[in-house]
Amino acid sequence: MNFFRSILVWVFVVLTSNTFGQPSDLTIKVMDNLGIHLEDCEGSLFAEKVLPYDKNLTVIVIPKIGQHKEGMFTLDSYVVVVNNKTERIKHKYFESYKTSGWESDAVFISDLTIDTARYLVQENTRAFGVILHTRNMSHPNPYASNYISLFIPKGNKLQNILKNFEIYSYGGETDMECLAELYYQRKILILSNNITNGFFDIEVKVSNTIHISKGEDCEATKTSSNAKQVLKFSDGTYKIQKQ
């Protein structure tokens, strides 16, 4: 298998791995509590996960459609933390489709997932993430990108302390046979010991890779580089530290 075809197969597998599950009974009860009807939601994008550090709580993301036109839609951001036993909402976050940034068009939303990695943003405060997965359907000009938002409890609400931060991107051009120039960028979030405004800084390790395939024999080359960013907490949210 030549370079381009192997890359294409890998991308196809990654970008079509979405599981199209329907909402659970718990999610349905939460939606009833919020007055949200199933027919007003994008059925393939529900997400639900028990918090590994508190088995009594479940995070639920409800993909309620805010605006719908031919070929595109936008989503209100509904993120809730629910007590599994009482089925009551403990914390809730809502943001209108007008400002949420959750938009599905030519580059469309392929999945919403919940990230429960150890984001200890304060000494006794652990955040969880909601990842927005997007991609297009173009083979000559493939594109995909993932964005993470981090949330922490604050009273009966959730505070969005990092909004739609891009952690993965892929794209480029190909001739569908051999010629290809493709790039990949991945970002890993690592909590630092440094504190700014009461929150640990987040170090972002950035890895960049460029694949080029050309010539009669489809000769492939790969170039890699690394970089670093730092996110500091200011005015209620994490922001990239200016160099």
The string of pLDDT tens digits covering residues 198-242 is: 999 999 999 999 999 987 778 889 999 999 999 999 999 999 998
Average pLDDT over residues 2-9: 41
pLDDT digits (tens, 9 = 90+) for 30-86: 999 999 999 999 999 999 999 999 999 999 999 999 999 888 999 999 999 999 999
176 falls in which pLDDT band (50, 70, 90)? confident
Question: Dihedral through CA 50, CA 51, CA 57, CA 62, nearest 10?
Answer: -60
Return the SS3 of 139: coil
Tokens of 51: 């918090």
Question: Dihedral through CA 18, CA 21, CA 23, CA 26, nearest 10?
Answer: -100
Average pLDDT over residues 7-19: 40
CA angle 21, 149, 208 (to 5 degrees): 100
Distance CA 168, CA 207 (A): 10
Residue closest to 157 by CA, chosen among 89, 101, 97, 55 = 89
Average pLDDT over residues 93-119: 96
Average pLDDT over residues 160-178: 94
Distance CA 128, CA 125 (A): 10
What are the residue boundaries of the structural domains of the chain, listed by start?
Answer: 3-235
pLDDT at 243: 64
Residue closest to 12 by CA, chosen among 110, 154, 106 = 110
Distance CA 38, CA 110 (A): 19
pLDDT at 115: 98
Distance CA 237, CA 78 (A): 18
Supply the pTM of this predicted model. Answer: 0.89
**Average pLDDT score, the chain:** 90
Is 93:80 a contact under the CB 8 Å cutoff?
Answer: yes
Return the SS3 of 35: coil
Q: How far is CA 25 from CA 93, 94, 193, in A?
A: 20, 21, 41
164 falls in which pLDDT band (50, 70, 90)? very high
Average pLDDT over residues 118-137: 97
pLDDT at 19: 40
21 falls in which pLDDT band (50, 70, 90)? low
Is 5:220 a contact under the CB 8 Å cutoff?
Answer: no
Q: What percent of the chain has pLDDT over 70?
A: 91
Is 214:183 a contact under the CB 8 Å cutoff?
Answer: no
